[in-house]
Structure 1
Amino acid sequence: MTRLSSKRQVTLPKSLCDRAGLSSGDEFKVLEHDGHITLIKQTPGASEGFLGDIQPDERFSEEESRDDGIQRSSDGGH
């Protein structure tokens, strides 16, 4: 059984780490939803180049794009 230590640390079973390909020093994103905790291993460089083919629209400044995003989110996405 896995326990939370007084330092809020959790030790994962070796067999689980072996199956998941986890190593000491790996970094994770930690998500919580409805009382469940999910760990997502972060792979350095995994998203590198993901948006590389997308070119900015020169008609809009970064500020205009940011302000539009803020406005859309405050309007509920409309």
Structure 2
Amino acid sequence: MPVVSQKRQVTLPLEQCEVAGIKPGDEYESFVSRQGSITIVTKRKGAAKGLLKGIPVNDKVSEDESLESAMQR
């Protein structure tokens, strides 16, 4: 079973990386839900291109508030 190192580093099992398409050197973001679950999302260049086109922007909501709201769903 993988463990967290003293530097708080985690090694992902090879099988999970293969399924998720994660390769050495890939960039990622991680998010923590209110329940304490950690989600790892690999960044893919151009993956979101045009995704939000035409959606109105609400400048009254901060990026952190928006992320928090999304994590509650």
| Number of the residue aligned with 2:16 | 16
| Number of the residue aligned with 1:42 | 43
- Deviation at residue 4 of structure 1 after TM alignment: 0.6
Farther off after superposition, 24-33 or 42-51: 42-51
| Number of the residue aligned with 1:57 | none
Equivalent residue pairs, number: 60
Show CA shifts across 1:9-56 (max 9, x none): 10011111111111011111111011111111111111123345x4xx
Q: Structure 1: which amino acid aligns with 2:48? A: S
TM-score, structure 2 normalization: 0.64
TM-score, structure 1 normalization: 0.61
Over aligned residue pairs, what C-alpha RMSD do you find?
2.5
| Number of the residue aligned with 1:5 | 5
Identity %: 38
Which structure would you say has the larger RCO, counting Cα contacts within 8 Å and 6 or more residues apart? 2
Q: Per residue, is there more strand in 1 or in 2?
A: 1
